[in-house]
Amino acid sequence: MVTQNMNKKVSFQGELGSYSHQALLEINPDAEPLTCSSFEAAIEAVRNGDSSFAILPVENSTYGRVADIHKLLPASKLFIVQEHFLRVRINLLAKHGVEIKEVKSAISHTVLLGQCRKFLNKNKIKGVVGVDTAGSAEMVANQNDMTMGALASPLAAKIYDLNTLASGIEDMTNNTTRFLVMAPESSYPERNKKLMITSIVFQVRNLPAALYKALGGFATNGVNLLKLESYMLGGSFNTTQFFIDFEGHPDDDGVKLAIDELSFFTSMIKIIGVYSGHEFRTGGGS
């Protein structure tokens, strides 16, 4: 499992105290975090050798997919080696001495703002878009505006010495984000008794009902599709690339047959990850 190999640098978007940082600590607290200003920078850090892995959020159970990431994944030239589900608990943070009734606005990443709309509306707090969650907490800690708070993790409150005015303010009590750990080289683990997941990108041929036919092999061979995403390529509405996650390992007989049938209707197909499913999928996560 990749967890034991993550003692080296791991890059992520955001500052120390971000939810990506928190996910990294849950995976391996001994890893060395490398903060980056963008998802692209976190990916590039792996490609140029500045970090051994990147950890990237791909979707949230309340907000939906992280759009930037889904566009970057197929072109990243990195491989998925692990997934992790993080229970996202959102706190309203402010400088010490500030009361919640004094807070008129709260800054955070746009994805996080979309996860606690009910709380903001109820307390008449205006959401302000920041670059990232932990960076927003750091900004609040370093300024003198007592009317602005930050929406961030409990870890950020500790790192930047902020007071927690309200905790667990997310709209959904099961608010969870899925993260992917990316590496510069593929590493196919052997088939084991645990749930295995394979991720593939492909382009269909210009044939009638090509996508329907391409995916038909998964149904007929009993392979469960978990995700299907599409992406426009080169600004063209006529060229589309697809990303799929499905249960199974490339060595499984049913998966082999499904991929063979997929290949018949595609002009390009590439496996970009084979990894164990997180325990969250089977009800063993937090």
CATH code for the domain in which residue 206 is found? 3.30.70.260
The whole-chain average pLDDT of the chain stands at: 90
Per-residue pLDDT, averaged over 257-274, amounts to 93
- C-beta of residue 68 within 8 angstroms of C-beta of residue 61: no
Q: Are residues 18 and 78 in the same domain?
A: yes
- C-beta of residue 75 within 8 angstroms of C-beta of residue 143: no
Does any domain span residue 191?
no
pLDDT at 1: 39
Q: Are residues 56 and 104 in the same domain?
A: no
- What is the distance between the alpha carbons of residues 185 and 272, in angstroms, rounded to a whole number? 10
Residue 241 structural domain: 196-281
Mapping DSSP to helix (H, G, I), strand (E, B) and coil, where does residue 226 land? strand
- What is the distance between the alpha carbons of residues 129 and 141, in angstroms, rounded to a whole number? 17
Q: Are residues 34 and 156 in the same domain?
A: no
Does any domain span residue 113?
yes
Provide the whole-model pTM: 0.88
Does any domain span residue 118?
yes
Ordered alpha helix ranges (H), the chain = 19-27, 39-47, 67-72, 110-113, 117-122, 133-142, 154-159, 210-220, 253-264
Q: Are residues 96 and 140 in the same domain?
A: yes
Phi first, then psi, for residue 143 (nearest 5°) are: -115, 170
235 confidence band (pLDDT: 50, 70, 90): low
Q: What is the CATH number of the domain that holds 138?
A: 3.40.190.10
pLDDT at 229: 87
pLDDT at 283: 75
168: CB partners within 8 A, 6+ apart: 89, 90, 91
285 confidence band (pLDDT: 50, 70, 90): low
Q: Are residues 102 and 242 in the same domain?
A: no
pLDDT at 205: 82
Q: Are residues 265 and 207 in the same domain?
A: yes
- What is the distance between the alpha carbons of residues 77 and 5, in angstroms, rounded to a whole number? 20
pLDDT at 102: 96
Does any domain span residue 188?
no
Per-residue pLDDT, averaged over 181-208, amounts to 86
Question: For the chain, how many helices (H) and strands (E)?
Answer: 9, 15
Give percent of the chain with pLDDT exceeding 90. 71
For residue 271, the one-letter residue type is I
Integer-rounded Cα radius of gyration of the chain: 21
Q: List the one residue out of 27, 33, 28, 31 whose CA is nearest residue 7.
A: 31
Count of structural domains, the chain: 3
Express each pLDDT in 133-191 by its tens digit: 999 999 999 999 999 999 999 999 999 999 999 999 999 988 999 999 999 988 777 77
- C-beta of residue 131 within 8 angstroms of C-beta of residue 36: no
Helix (H) or strand (E) holding 63: none
pLDDT at 209: 87
Q: Are residues 143 and 101 in the same domain?
A: yes
- For CA atoms 278, 188, 225, 179, the dihedral sign is positive
Does any domain span residue 286?
no
Per-residue pLDDT, averaged over 222-238, amounts to 80
3 confidence band (pLDDT: 50, 70, 90): low
Does any domain span residue 189?
no
